[in-house]
Amino acid sequence: MNVNTGKAAGWRGVIDRYSEFLPVTDQTPVVTLLEGNTPLVPVPRFAAAIGAKVELFLKCEGLNPTCSFKDRGMTLAVSKAVEKGAQVIVCASTGNTSASAAAYAARAGIKCVVLLPEGNVALGKLAQALIYGAETVEVRGGFDAALNIVRELGLTGLVEVVNSVNPYRIEGQKTAAFEICDALGDAPDFHFLPVGNAGNITANWKGYREYHAAEKSDTLPKMFGWQAAGAAPIVDGHPIDNPQSVATAIRIGNPASWQGATSAVQESAGSIGKVSDDEILHAYQLLARTEGVFVEPASAAPLAGLIRCVKLDQIPAGSIIVATMTGHGLKDPDIAIKQAGVTPKRAEATLESVRAAIGL
């Protein structure tokens, strides 16, 4: 297999690269921060550590401009909003959508309003919304309540909604599947990813199907989505009133793209499962320690899922698996420090004292 995992020179963002697959014209004012073209990193040490005899690659979406995959959809959603003359965009967010919306609005010179669930947004994400200059409102309620308000705001016609209920978000996000096929030379056997509002599993599956239909790839992957056990409406078969998880990005009780996720797993002969917070945090730390790849907790859900599948012997040896690492670990430093469970050792500023501290 000839895998091109590097950054291409002269990259001008996902709209430029994949315009033939996207609803844009020469007149569309492209608002881009050169998102996409993220590395597909092989992680053999992690695979060995979990006893998986597979070729595992991580699509490291935390290397996008605002450090999550949300930038792929946001470049298109904001470009289309500007094209139709919108002055204000609005979103509800567990954090990463707001970070991305705020950045692309700043880039476009328009206003951004973000609604966040009070007290449950990771520190890095909140910092982003604030520094990019978004009007930031903490709502006393969860993500689902905030999204309902955003939908109603959208109906006033005064603002453009850039949540993934906006179809341009899904269109932009499907480019991740194109890049994976371009890098591997074909689709992988399995694609693992976290599921929150379920836009991304919907988008990636759409991307694989479109690339296949255009004969840019010969095969289709099985889509394996993973929810957090305390926020697993699709697995449990009903909306969850008060979803809970350490993985705040997937702490969603009533996914907007529920149907899209169900179709993706049915059509691809995949599945949606759930993993506990303990399993998520174990995978999160193991990845960082075995490979030097630091992702946010939600991104570790598919890795926890893979650990499960390997234990149950559900993955044929030699399979090519891609897992989407949806967001960067620095988004949520509090969890990392807590999970590491250690604090820095202390020493005097002398060689002896440092040697004593490290036992060398």
| Min dist. Cβ of residue 307 to ligand PLP (A) | 18
**Cα–Cα–Cα angle for 26, 101, 208, nearest 5°?**
60
Work out how close the CB of 70 gets to ligand PLP at its nearest, in angstroms, rounded to a whole number.
6
Give the shortest CB-253-to-ligand PLP separation in angstroms. Answer: 12
Cα–Cα distances in Å, from 176 out to 37, 71, 172, 200? 8, 11, 8, 9
Cβ proximity of 109 and 201 under 8 Å: no
Binding site for ligand PLP (CB under 6 A): 68, 70, 96, 164, 194-200, 249-250, 296, 298-299, 326-327
Closer residue to ligand PLP (CB): 186 or 232: 232
Number of helices and strands in the chain (H, E)? 15, 10
Residue 2 CB, nearest approach to ligand PLP (Å): 30
Nearer to ligand PLP, 105 or 198 (CB): 198
Handedness of CA 276, 51, 191, 103 (dihedral sign): positive
Distance CA 42, CA 57 (A): 4
Neighbour tally for 353: CB within 10 Å: 11
Cβ proximity to ligand PLP, 31 vs 195, nearer residue = 195
Distance in Å, CB of 263 to ligand PLP, minimum: 14
| Shortest Å distance, C-beta 44 to ligand PLP | 24
CB of 356 to ligand PLP, least distance (A): 41
Q: Are strands 40-42 and 55-60 parallel, antiparallel or unpaired?
A: antiparallel
By DSSP bridging, strand 190-194 and strand 222-228 are parallel
CB of 298 to ligand PLP, least distance (A): 4
Measured from the CB atom, the residue of 89 and 298 that comes closer to ligand PLP is: 298
DSSP 188: -
Closer CB to ligand PLP, 13 or 95, in the complex: 95
Question: Residue 75 or residue 200: which is nearer to ligand PLP going by CB?
Answer: 200
Residue 112 or 250: which CB sits closer to ligand PLP? 250
Q: What are phi and psi of 244, to 5 degrees?
A: -130, 140
Which two structure tokens, joined as six digits, stand for 156?
């006033």
Angle value at C-alpha 114, between 112 and 116, nearest 5 degrees? 170
Token pair for residue 111? Answer: 């206003």
Q: Which residue is nearest to ligand PLP (CB)?
A: 327
Q: Is 292 helix (H, G, I), strand (E, B) or coil?
A: coil
Of 186 and 234, the one with the shorter C-beta distance to ligand PLP is 234
**In this structure, what is the dihedral angle of CA atoms 62, 66, 68, 71, given to the nearest 10 degrees?**
-130
